[in-house]
Amino acid sequence: MSTPRVILLLSGSLRVGSSNETVLRTAQAVAPEGVRTVLYEGLAALPHFNPDDDAEPLPEPVAALRAAIDAADALLVCTPEYAGTLPGAFKNLLDWTVGGTEICDKPVAYVSAAAPGRGQGAEATLRTVLGYTGAVVVEPACVRVAVDRQLVGADGVITEAGARERIAEVLTVLASFER
């Protein structure tokens, strides 16, 4: 039996039960065979980025973030858009990845949970920052899945079959990506 591909799930939202968390919890629920998902939950614990602190020994939350990225085969991001760009807390997470090499050449995709006509600013900023990190954006795995709150179960997972299938397909494409 082959080793499962590990996909680290990164939410750009600090809000419990956000649409972004819902998408990522759904990803955990629909992960295909051969894919193991790990939800990163340390966003709120990250210190403000300071280049002076981007040296050994790293602050513990930063070291844990970089270790989680390093242990993953790929990353799946789901982030909201605030004021036309990435939320500050998530931009801070990304800033901590620029000085390391863990994300370099790693396949990354995103699922936008934004309502139609929204979210383009966050997507553009995310792509820009990922370019600085050396990550490889897997275009066929970057999709939009608007979250209808009426189709989310009590467990915080999307119940609508079409959305679940799209998210499962994202994981399949991301897990099978080869450069």
pTM of the model: 0.96
What are 88-102's pLDDT values in tens digits?
A: 999 999 999 999 999
CB 96 within 8 A of CB 54: yes
Beta bridge partners, 109, equal 76
Whole-number pLDDT of residue 40: 98
What are 123-170's pLDDT values in tens digits?
A: 999 999 999 999 999 999 999 998 988 999 999 999 999 999 999 999
What are 34-87's pLDDT values in tens digits?
A: 999 999 999 999 999 999 999 999 999 999 999 999 999 999 999 999 999 999
Contacts of 123 (CB under 8 A, 6+ apart): 81, 110, 112, 142
Quick count: other Cβ atoms within 10 Å of Cβ 7? 25
